Amino acid sequence: MKKINVKGPIISNDDKWIYDMLEMDSTAPKDVIDALPDDDSDIEVDINSGGGLVTAGSEIYTALMNYSGKVTVNIMGMAASAASVIAMAGNPTRISPVGQIMIHNSAAGVYGDYHDQDKLSDMLKQLNEAMANAYQLKTKLPMDDLLAKMDSETYLNADQAKELGFVDEVMFTDDKIQSQIARTN
């Protein structure tokens, strides 16, 4: 099974060379898209990212959702912000017992007059709803509840993420450990 890593900040394709030159973890849409197998075989996507550029995260999410093979997402540490959207593309999405998901409102800044500020505010509200669409498809929670959680900048531990439907399973649960023990005895 092919492994694809989503590590470090989620960045644009144009900025990738800088991170590579400095030997820093980062993930751009091209990294994930180019790693997708041509034969539609199963893949595992390992995530440990504090998030980043929402448009890049959306592109990665869409590429994974559009992929014909099975996509298993493993949240290894943190799946925050744009990385939490990417995590919603898993079927299944799994989380380490020490992992977390963080969802929050989109953020940006603009220089300009009050008209520009109003436009930015409207754009950010639309971005929030777009991100919440991914959460709603996965969790089936009401949109108002999801937007309220984003508004509060919500951190979810593994058990909370499973209870709310952001993930399908917690890795290394007792059932899995027991079956591993049974195989070694």
Active site members: 81, 104
Please identify which residue in the block is written with the tokens 């940006």.
108
Backbone angles phi, psi at 22, to 5 degrees: -85, 5
Question: What b/e string do you get for 147-168 counting C-beta neighbours within 10 Å, with b at 16 or more?
Answer: bebbeeebebebeebbebebbb
Residue 166's beta-bridge partner residues?
none
CA-CA distance, 160 to 102, in Å (whole number)? 11
CA-CA distance, 42 to 26, in Å (whole number)? 23
- CB neighbours (10 Å) of residue 182? 8
Backbone angles phi, psi at 141, to 5 degrees: -70, 155
* Nearby residues of 29 by Cβ (< 8 Å), 6 or more positions away: 12, 13, 56, 59, 60, 63
